[in-house]
Amino acid sequence: MKNLHTALVKFNLHNQVKVSSPIALSALQNSFPSSAGSFRPEFVEPVFKPMLEFLRQTGSYLMVNIYPFFAYETNADVIPLDYALFRENPGVADSGNGLRYFSLFDAQIDAVFAAMSALKYDDVGVVVTETGWPSKGDQSETGASMENAAAYNGNLVRRVLSGGGTPLRPKADLTVYLFALFNEDKKNGPTSERNFGLFYPNEEKVYDIPFTVEGLKHYHDTHSRSSGGGQRTVTSPVRGGVSKSGAGNTWCVANAGAGKERLQAALDYACGEGGANCQPIQPGDACYSPNTLEAHASYAFNSYYQKKGRAGGSCYFGGASYIVSEQPKYGKCELPTGY
């Protein structure tokens, strides 16, 4: 890495071209909870300290390969599938820092950030150089299926193009590379290793997902909400009291743990470009009181969610919201169930 950088300096290309090297998540001693993230001790002095110092000095970034599939495959009894696939879910609270995570992807990235922070390298950025999900696997490879691969990669595109960092680094600008373009049909190993591609070797699509903001407007995760693998919802009441729902409806509310900046940015989007009906939370209107960011954001998020027909992915807002199955009430304002 140093020799490559020296060569780039010689030809005055070091500002345009950065040098780094990818690490696997297995380079971490701990990755759960995210706040306990740490590098394997035998690699700290000989590898990570000098490598991170080099990245800092050259203005480069740490490359990380993140695969929630492998974590889910070996821990399917404790990791909810919706949590691994970016679908709506109650989230997982980090007991170490109080943050709530709504995707395993974000939690794994923050474990890397925490490991870097423990070595005092908070200023070095991270790029996800590989992530993906296999569309086929051996019988023992739990979760490897076409539906799950399409859900993971489609929702990943939504997650990245929607912007926003992670719960630990909300201002981080995430760059993510999807693995892989083609199935590697000659590759050794378990069946999953040959089935991470978006295309078959004959150039036909394995499944169809969008890659642009425009394409996302018409994209819906095909996951069924029926029982037997249906969408997970939160049943505990949110602050402000609840009234029971007898119609099997769901609502989208603000995640106070996301922080004021993320909530405000998501609220601005929902009321602006998102097209939510935010008139009732204006001064003097029915749901202006209580005048709190959480209450107003909940109203706006739910308006957007209901207008989108409660479609998969429409209650995300970069992790600033989550779904409840009991009708939330803030003061005298009950959130509507539809438009």
Rounded CA separation 105/38 (Å) = 17
Give me the tens of pLDDT residue by residue for the chain, a chain 339 residues long. Answer: 999 999 999 999 999 999 999 999 999 999 999 999 999 999 999 999 999 999 999 999 999 999 999 999 989 989 999 999 999 888 888 888 888 899 999 999 999 999 999 999 999 999 999 999 999 999 999 999 999 999 999 999 988 887 778 989 888 888 999 999 999 999 998 999 999 999 999 999 999 999 887 887 777 776 633 323 333 333 232 332 222 233 457 888 998 877 888 889 889 888 988 889 999 999 999 999 999 999 999 999 999 888 888 776 678 787 788 887 778 889 889 888 765
pLDDT of residue 312: 63
Compute how many other C-beta atoms are within 10 angstroms of the C-beta atom of residue 189. 9
Query: If 0-12 CB within 10 Å is exposed, 13-18 middle and 19+ buried, where does residue 173 land?
Result: exposed
Q: Which of 2, 53, 120, 187 is catalytic?
A: 187
Nearest CA among 270, 271, 280 for reference residue 315: 270
Token pair 């119609």 in the structure block, residue: 247
pLDDT of residue 222: 66
pLDDT of residue 243: 28
Residue 18 annotated in active site: no
pLDDT of residue 72: 94
How many C-alpha atoms does 106 have within 13 Å on its Cβ side? 32
Report residue 77 as tokens: 């009894």
Residue 184 annotated in active site: yes
Residue 193 annotated in active site: yes
Report residue 72 as tokens: 């889910």
Rounded CA separation 50/48 (Å) = 6
Residue type at 211?
A: F
Compute how many other C-beta atoms are within 10 angstroms of the C-beta atom of residue 89. 22
- Which region, left, alpha or beta, applies to residue 123 given φ > 0 means left and ψ of -120 to 50 means alpha? alpha
Residue 329 annotated in active site: no
Work out whether strand 251-254 and strand 321-324 pair parallel, antiparallel, or are unpaired: antiparallel
Report residue 45 as tokens: 């002095």
* Domain 1-217, CATH homologous superfamily name and number: Glycosidases (3.20.20.80)
Q: Which of 147, 193, 307, 329 is catalytic?
A: 193
pLDDT in tens, 232-263: 333 232 332 222 233 457 888 998 877 888 88
pLDDT of residue 155: 92
List every span in the chain annotated with CATH 3.20.20.80: 1-217
Residue 13 and residue 66 in contact, taking contact as beta carbons nearer than 8 Å: no
Q: Which of 18, 136, 147, 184 is catalytic?
A: 184
DSSP for residue 205: B
* Whole-Å CA distances, 233 to 74, 90, 230: 24, 6, 9
Rounded CA separation 228/242 (Å) = 27
Q: Which of 130, 136, 307, 329 is catalytic?
A: 130
